Each structure stands twice: as structure tokens, then as C-alpha cells.
């Protein structure tokens, strides 16, 4: 007797889109670690740069999108985009069902858990998935990268080469950034 499988063929499964939101000013190797690992779990990962007029970033949104696209060009299921407003509204707009977040330390968890609960009150359709940062990136943040570069330290081991080059240009040319 022939058994009928209840497994849905891959091509018929719905595409699961995850958003990895953040400022990415700049994108670090820690961010890339989360993106690469997330790309193995979800069909599409959208690295979503929040346009926040209340912040004074080192790089424009367009520069950050370019940095992300260059750093992730080896991952065909990863794309970069930007948005304004609530992350859950953007997620609903593009049909994403997952918010991808990286956790470094306990204080990250407290903040991220609060945000996940808040997002759940705004959209019950969206789940937050936390990935623990790989050990070698547990200390790393965009702020740390900028601080080191500001004081002429090497950041080559913290960001991709193209990003390091752009950061060095910002801090070595006073007319670009003071």
C-alpha cells in the first residue's frame, strides 16, 4: 500500500522572511555573524536600517546600506533595506514573520525581551528570535568600533575591510567628521 506523505514539498512551503533591524552604524563582524547564521534558518533575511532622525550617525543610511550589501554579497538570500517608524509595521509591510535579534550580554536580553513583548502587543503575527552572539563578538558594538577608530586604534579585526577603510577616512579627515 502506498503511503501519502504529509510533508509539504519545499517549493510549496511559505517563504519565511526575517528582519534583522538596527542602525548598523557601522555594520560589525558581530552583526555579520548574526546575519550569516540567520540566513541558514530563514528563507530571506532583510537587514533593515532604521532611519532615526534623532541620532547623528557616522554614515548616512545610503552608505550603511551599501556597506551591508557589500558585506553580505556572498549570501543570496540576504538583502538590505531601510525604513521609518515601527519595526512591526515594516515587517507587516514586507510580509515578515520574524524579528531576528542578537544577544551579547544579560543587559541585552533584558532590553530585547522588553522590546519583544512590546512588539507582540503591536502584532501577534510576528515572533522575535534571539541568537546568542558568538563568543568572539560578545563585547563588540558599533559604538566600540567608532570609539577605537576615533582614537586611532585598529579596527581591522572588528569590521569588514571595506567598512574599516570608510571609518578610517572619516576619522583621518577632519573636514568629513570632527
The catalytic residues are 31, 55, 104, 142
- Which contiguous run of DSSP H or E holds residue 115? helix 106-122
Of 156, 170, 164, which Cα lies nearest the Cα of 57? 170
Helix (H, G, I), strand (E, B) or coil at 80: strand
Q: Measured between alpha carbons, how far is 40 from 100 in angstroms, rounded to an integer?
A: 12
Q: DSSP string spanning 22-40?
A: E--TT--HHHHHHHHHHHT
Contact 48, 82 (CB under 8 A): yes
93 burial level (CB within 10 Å; 0-12, 13-18, 19+): exposed
Close Cβ partners of 98 (under 8 Å, ≥ 6 residues apart): 16, 17, 18, 19, 42, 126, 127, 128, 129
Q: Measured between alpha carbons, how far is 42 from 97 in angstroms, rounded to an integer?
A: 10
Amino acid at each position: 500500500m502506498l503511503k501519502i506523505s504529509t510533508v509539504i514539498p519545499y517549493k510549496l512551503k511559505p517563504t519565511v522572511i526575517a528582519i534583522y533591524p538596527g542602525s548598523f552604524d557601522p555594520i560589525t563582524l558581530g552583526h555579520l555573524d548574526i546575519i550569516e547564521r540567520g540566513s541558514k534558518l530563514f528563507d530571506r533575511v532583510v537587514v533593515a536600517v532604521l532611519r532615526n532622525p534623532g541620532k547623528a550617525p557616522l554614515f548616512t543610511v545610503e552608505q550603511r546600506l551599501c556597506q551591508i550589501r557589500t558585506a553580505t554579497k556572498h549570501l543570496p538570500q540576504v538583502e538590505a533595506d531601510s525604513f521609518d517608524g515601527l519595526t512591526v509595521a515594516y515587517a507587516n509591510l514586507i510580509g515578515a514573520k520574524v524579528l531576528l535579534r542578537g544577544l551579547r550580554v544579560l543587559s541585552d536580553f533584558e532590553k530585547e525581551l522588553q522590546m519583544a513583548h512590546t512588539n507582540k502587543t503591536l502584532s501577534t503575527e510576528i515572533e522575535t528570535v534571539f541568537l546568542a552572539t558568538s563568543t568572539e563578538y560578545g563585547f563588540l558594538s558599533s559604538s566600540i568600533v567608532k570609539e577605537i577608530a576615533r582614537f586611532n586604534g585598529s579596527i581591522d579585526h572588528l569590521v569588514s575591510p571595506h567598512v574599516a577603510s570608510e571609518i578610517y577616512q572619516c576619522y583621518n579627515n577632519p573636514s568629513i567628521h570632527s
